[in-house]
Chains A and B, each alone.
Chain A
Amino acid sequence: MTDIASPRTDIPQDEPARQRDELDAAWRSPAGWRAISAVNQTYVGRRFVITGFIYFLIAGILGLVIRVQLAVPENDLLTPEAYNQIFTMHGTMMMFLFAVPILEGVAVYLLPPMLGARDLPFPRLSAFGYWCYLLGGLLLLSSLPLGLAPDSGWFIYPPLSSTLFSPGMNVDFWLLGITFMEISAITASIELIVAILKTRAPGMSIDRMPLFAWYILITAFMIVFGFPPLIMGSILLELERAFGLPFFDAAKGGHPLLWQHLFWLFGHPEVYIIFLPAAGIMSMVVPTFARHPIVGYRWLVLAAVGMGFLSFGLWVHHMFATGIPQLSLAFFSAASTLVAIPSGIQVFGWIATLWHGRPRFDTPLLFAIGTIVTFVIGGFTGVMVAIVPFDLQVHDTHFVVAHFHYVLIGGAVFPLFAGIHYWMPLALGRMPSERLGRCSFWTMFAGFHLTFFPLHWLGLIGMSRRVYTYLPGLNLELGNLIATGGAFLFALGVLLAMVNILWTARSGTPSGDNPWNAGTLEWLKVPTPACNFRSIPVISSRDPMWDQPKLSKAVELGVGFLPDSLGGRRLMMGTSATDARPEQVLELPGPTYMPLVAALCVGVFFVSFLLKLYAMAALGGLLSVAAFLVWMWPTSPEGRRGDIVASPGTVLPTAHGHHAAPGSTALNVTLAADAALYGSLAFSLFFLWSYTPDRMGTPLPSPSAWPAVLDLCLMLAGSAVLAWAERRMRAGAAVPAMLGLPVAMGLATAALAHGLLSSGHLGLPAQEHALAAVLWTLFGYQAIHAGAAVLIAGLAAVAAWRGHFTRGRHLALRIAVRFWHYTAALWAVGFVLVHIPPLLG
């Protein structure tokens, strides 16, 4: 067992200059246009943040247009149709293109240096996610100049979003653009979870993790379980619009409320997915400027976990007016008020830290205090709308608009600006202007409250949301005029903040290391070197920069882990999840265009689907598969295996091909997300089945079980063969894997072929009834997974036949086997879902 205290600080490292130069060379990214091949977390994180900020500005301009339209009664600046498109795009862009991705970008940028890591564990995946985000966002945004922007609200409820009422491409832009860019949310979550669990600096046990990492960890898990319902809902709605599968069509057994459930199963956790990373930023800013360690670290972890879970029990509070039984409403009302407990703990933790410290009221702290004030008001109105009778009174009024802007701008935008000011020296190496910072804060703060506080009052006296104008003489004029003026003041504040960033980049004074005297590791060296750390430090405190004064010097001298790149390799530490004990050495890939190529291929699929060029879409799908096969094609392990002296006295195995490498954890998280996606489909079947009057009786689908039994048996047989092959591999025998993988592929191919040939057993055509549509979708889902299992097993078979597997290093086999078991389980669950309900009548 490796002792985390083992790096010997008494031994000077050899050749520090050579090591430093080699490290820089190994981690440096290409310049010029070739920089698009860079995959380092600094590049990808910055791209996310800059792109997100540009989307924020565009969405903000749309918000200003809304306010101009509403400034006076009976304004004819916008037509109702244009107004519908603009408020839909404003909400959609702010929620999907700005809030989540920019906060993920902040996490991608900051987490490695904060955790003592050199990069994220799967840099190509991060880069792929970014390109999907950029391209998906551009696809959605392109609808605006074309006059084809979505116009059904950011939640695009059917039947308003059905082809009957929205026959154009507007809604398709939303569904396909958002689904495309949501790939990035899932990939970033997988990346961040594995990074936090498996790549922390030695000694950074979970009780020493920066709170920002805790918040991102919980957020990432929320994305893994929260986004799939929306992705599934989007797939179903697009299938309905493109091919007439009537999931939401009440005339054919569908139900519009199914969409609302799927949407809000995502939509309410989404609020906390936005708030928690921002709260993480707050929990870094507040102790630094209070000059006191955070008060109640354990309580704040409790609050974050509590909010993460409770937020999944709130979705129906967006559906209080849909006719759900009162008792069910009471469950959600209870959960909605309960979430105030962890939220309160959170806020009191920040206040207590300020109370115990000696606060320094620089710009980041001003924004942090602005957050507390604004978010608390939004929280109070949140408790108000959690009470069913009150919610029914203010439903769809501007009171709700005021509430969620207080929560989202107070809970995400102000913390983000606090973070931007706080970490600007880290990103630019220069100090921001305090005067400009203060001006931007006060302008934004005043502008925000002038804009949104009057909306409470306007809502209470009955002004509806999403209506392009109002009549004079209803006492709505003054409040709207003040709100519009406030919006421009807020925009001026944002402009001042942008000027500050540009001024800092050009003329700010050099910051030096740790200019704010912060406690966390990212401030060890400013500007941060390409490799983040000359050597990986050993952490013995929650605030290492405060409690380990010799750390900076030690890292500079190469004391710690992996001071040498061993000939230009990108090496970093892999550690245990709970105690951060050194376990492995990870070797990361360098710059590559593969993520961009793969994202472009996926883009061909989405754009072709949007244009209803389905043959081209199929080609895009095949190109995507081909790109991923090239990406993951087994390469020779020569020179990448064996043990490495990570520090004097510490020898660690490399992670390449190791069956316990981070890739194994990533697969588990991926399968969890996939299970949530499948669960959403199963929920849809269950929901529609429960609402269908005669349920599965005639003439509804009456699937025949026997063909499915045969297919299931073939898949299970494949699972058994692979389980045997892996067991033998663990004993050192590679031949069973070499034979078992092709056999399993053959069994799955037979199951797929038989399933397709006998798919008539599913009963009615998919367009005839919503339940038939779900059954066909279930079958398609399972078939796609069986196809993926064959491809993954094929890659493992190539590696097996090339002799890449050894007793302790057969990660590709382990991944193939685990994915296969999962797929077989899907088929088994699918069998139960399809064939058991008819028995219940």
Chain B
Amino acid sequence: MPSVPKGSAILVAPAILWSAHFLFVYVFVSLACLWGWHEATVMGVRVVTAAVALATAAAVLPIALLGVRAWRSAPGATADPTDTRSRRGRFIAQVTAAQSALFAFSTIMVGVPTLMRPPCV
């Protein structure tokens, strides 16, 4: 059985990954448009589109894994008020799993427009 989460910092890991992805795609697309990279293609695919799609996949994957792992690691409910470890572990695991779902969806929503629009209009 996976270990119970000890610290609470894991709670914000999905959100931090989303932030990193968001920052990357925004800065990358801005610079690409500013400096004219948007014309470049690799095997017929625009570099900008490919880079954003790859970055999106690279962000969604660990967020999803984090969520699945957190969900599986959640201890069962306890009625014992002194069982701090299980109760707190369950809380952290469940909130982390929910955060993963929210931010995986958010990452996809931010990445999808690249596939639908030319980058620098």
Chain A contacts to B: CB under 8 angstroms: 4-5, 203, 205-207, 298-299, 301-302, 305-306, 308-310, 312-313, 316, 324-328, 330-332, 334-335, 337-338, 341-342, 540-541, 577-579, 690-691
Cβ distance A661 to chain B, nearest Cβ, rounded Å: 20
A328 contacts B6, C-beta separation under 8 Å:
no
For residue B43, CB closer than 8 A to chain A, the reply is no
Contacts of B70 in A (CB 8 A): none
Contact of B30 among A4, A301, A309, A328 (CB under 8 A): A328
A-B contact pairs, 16 of them (CB 8 A): A206-B91, A302-B98, A309-B16, A309-B19, A313-B110, A326-B121, A327-B113, A328-B30, A331-B22, A334-B110, A335-B109, A338-B110, A578-B7, A579-B84, A579-B85, A690-B35
Task: Report how far A540 CA is from B83 CA in the complex, Å.
Answer: 10
Contacts known (A299-B98, A540-B81); A310 close to B106, Cβ less than 8 A = yes
A-B pairs, top 6 by smallest CB distance, nearest first, are A207-B91, A330-B113, A309-B15, A325-B33, A334-B109, A302-B98
Contacts of B109 in A (CB 8 A): 334-335, 337-338
Instruction: Report the interface size class on chain B.
Output: 35 or more
Contacts known (A299-B98, A540-B81); A331 close to B113, Cβ less than 8 A = yes
Task: Report how far A312 CA is from B121 CA in the complex, Å.
Answer: 25
Contacts of A298 in B (CB 8 A): 91, 94-95, 98
B88 contacts A306, C-beta separation under 8 Å:
no
Contacts of A206 in B (CB 8 A): 8, 88, 91-92
Contacts known (A310-B106, A325-B33); A578 close to B12, Cβ less than 8 A = no
Cβ distance A564 to chain B, nearest Cβ, rounded Å: 26
Contact of B119 among A324, A327, A337, A691 (CB under 8 A): A327
Contact of A305 among B15, B26, B119 (CB under 8 A): B15
Contact of A579 among B11, B88, B99, B118 (CB under 8 A): B88
Given A305-B15, A328-B30, A335-B110; 11 other pairs, CB 8 A cutoff: A205-B88, A298-B94, A298-B95, A299-B98, A328-B29, A331-B113, A335-B22, A335-B109, A338-B110, A341-B105, A578-B88
A302 contacts B84, C-beta separation under 8 Å:
no
A205 contacts B15, C-beta separation under 8 Å:
no
Contacts of B25 in A (CB 8 A): 331
Contacts known (A327-B29, A335-B22, A338-B109); A205 close to B34, Cβ less than 8 A = no
For residue B31, CB closer than 8 A to chain A, the reply is yes
Cβ distance B38 to chain A, nearest Cβ, rounded Å: 9
B81 contacts A327, C-beta separation under 8 Å:
no
Task: Report how far A306 CA is from B31 CA in the complex, Å.
Answer: 28
Contacts of B12 in A (CB 8 A): 305, 309
Cβ distance B92 to chain A, nearest Cβ, rounded Å: 8
Contacts of A309 in B (CB 8 A): 12, 15-16, 18-19, 103
B120 contacts A327, C-beta separation under 8 Å:
yes
For residue B72, CB closer than 8 A to chain A, the reply is no
> Which residue of B is nearest A581, CB measured?
B84
A578 contacts B8, C-beta separation under 8 Å:
yes
A306 contacts B15, C-beta separation under 8 Å:
yes
B95 contacts A338, C-beta separation under 8 Å:
no
Task: Report how far A326 CA is from B119 CA in the complex, Å.
Answer: 7
Contacts of B29 in A (CB 8 A): 325, 327-328, 331
For residue B102, CB closer than 8 A to chain A, the reply is yes
Task: Report how far A540 CA is from B84 CA in the complex, Å.
Answer: 9
Cβ distance B106 to chain A, nearest Cβ, rounded Å: 5
A205 contacts B22, C-beta separation under 8 Å:
no
B95 contacts A302, C-beta separation under 8 Å:
yes
Cβ distance B95 to chain A, nearest Cβ, rounded Å: 5
Cβ distance B88 to chain A, nearest Cβ, rounded Å: 5
Task: Report how far A312 CA is from B23 CA in the complex, Å.
Answer: 10
Cβ distance A672 to chain B, nearest Cβ, rounded Å: 13
Contacts of B118 in A (CB 8 A): 327
